[in-house]
Amino acid sequence: MDFLTVTGMACVMLAGGLGLGLGLRLLRLGYQVRGEVRALRHRAHEGVPQRATTDESVRRRLSQPHGTRRATSIHGITRNGMLRHTDGSFTKAYHVKLENTLYAEDSIVDRNYNELARMLASIKQPGIVIQFRHAVHPDPGRAIKRHLEAQSPRDAYMPARMLHTMGIAQFEAQARTGNYQEAALTCWIRVPARHPSDPSRARLGMIASFFPALVKELRRQGII
């Protein structure tokens, strides 16, 4: 056999080996894919009851969440919107109107200071806590809403109204992305007040208040 024949037979055998190896690899991959497809179909059929079980566990976790109980002094909320604390005190919150005093007259600023000082000086009960809390958060569009409610479109010129609406649309798009912010000032007043029949008091305190009340009733109405 000459050199060309040997070289040709070697090339044919090499190509055949590569083709056989590639074919076996493709067959193995195809078998794996079929197995994964069967597993996905089986999971899809069983996914509905599993999802229902998961939703039920999440619903039950709302009333009994994991973790430790949060320590708070708030006992509840009254019908008037006041926070009742475990020590018997209550807290009331108020919205404070912010006034623009950047370019205001000095007399206006002094008047605001004096009114606030007189309000604080008029509180005579000891133990009252007054807090002013200033919060800044994105404006969802309340300023644009107030602007639209304040305008009077009856006497406005129609082309001017169209241009104004286009400008408002641009401001609305910027408000949706959170480019504008609004500030809120609140005043929180906590008044320490305790009552003998307050359910938030400790049991020992209620028992201690029972005996003076019993003695008082006995003196007024008698034992019989």
Looking at the predicted structure, is the pLDDT value of residue 215 above 80? yes
Bridge partners for 74 per DSSP: 85
Confidence of residue 188 (pLDDT cuts 50, 70, 90): very high
Q: Are residues 199 and 188 in the same domain?
A: no
Question: Tell me, what's the pLDDT at 104?
Answer: 81
What is the number of structural domains in the chain? 3
Euclidean distance between CA atoms 108 and 114, whole angstroms? 10
CA distance to 123, 126, 151, 164, 182, per residue, from 148 (Å): 41, 47, 6, 10, 17
User: Residue 209 corresponds to which amino acid?
Assistant: S
Question: Tell me, what's the pLDDT at 195?
Answer: 57
Q: Are residues 184 and 204 in the same domain?
A: no
Bridge partners for 135 per DSSP: 184
Question: Tell me, what's the pLDDT at 45?
Answer: 59
User: Residue 136 corresponds to which amino acid?
Assistant: V
Mean pLDDT of 100-114: 85
Return the H-helix or E-strand segment holding 34. helix 3-63
Mean pLDDT of 67-94: 83
Q: Are residues 135 and 202 in the same domain?
A: no
Ranked by mean pLDDT, the top range of 104-118, 131-145, 156-170 is 104-118
Q: Are residues 168 and 89 in the same domain?
A: yes
Percentage with pLDDT > 90 across the chain = 4
Give first-to-last CA distance, the chain, whole Å: 137
Euclidean distance between CA atoms 201 and 34, whole angstroms? 69
Ranked by mean pLDDT, the top range of 80-84, 100-104, 207-211 is 80-84
Looking at the predicted structure, is the pLDDT value of residue 202 above 60? no
Q: Are residues 119 and 169 in the same domain?
A: yes
Euclidean distance between CA atoms 112 and 99, whole angstroms? 9
Q: Are residues 182 and 207 in the same domain?
A: no
Q: Are residues 164 and 130 in the same domain?
A: yes
Q: How many residues does the chain have?
A: 224
Indicate the average pLDDT of the chain: 77
Query: Among 177, 163, 168, which Cα is nearest to 148's?
Result: 168
Q: Are residues 121 and 209 in the same domain?
A: no
Radius of gyration of the chain (CA): 39
Q: Could you tell me if 142 and 150 are in contact, meaning their C-beta atoms sit under 8 angstroms apart?
A: no
Q: Are residues 9 and 88 in the same domain?
A: no
Q: What is this structure's pTM?
A: 0.47
Bridge partners for 188 per DSSP: 93, 131
- What's the domain range around 200? 194-224
Mean pLDDT of 16-21: 78
Question: Tell me, what's the pLDDT at 105?
Answer: 86
Q: Are residues 122 and 165 in the same domain?
A: yes
Looking at the predicted structure, is the pLDDT value of residue 200 above 80? no
Least confident of 23-32, 46-55, 138-147: 46-55
Least confident of 9-13, 73-77, 147-151, 197-201: 197-201
Percentage with pLDDT > 70 across the chain = 75
Q: Are residues 183 and 88 in the same domain?
A: yes
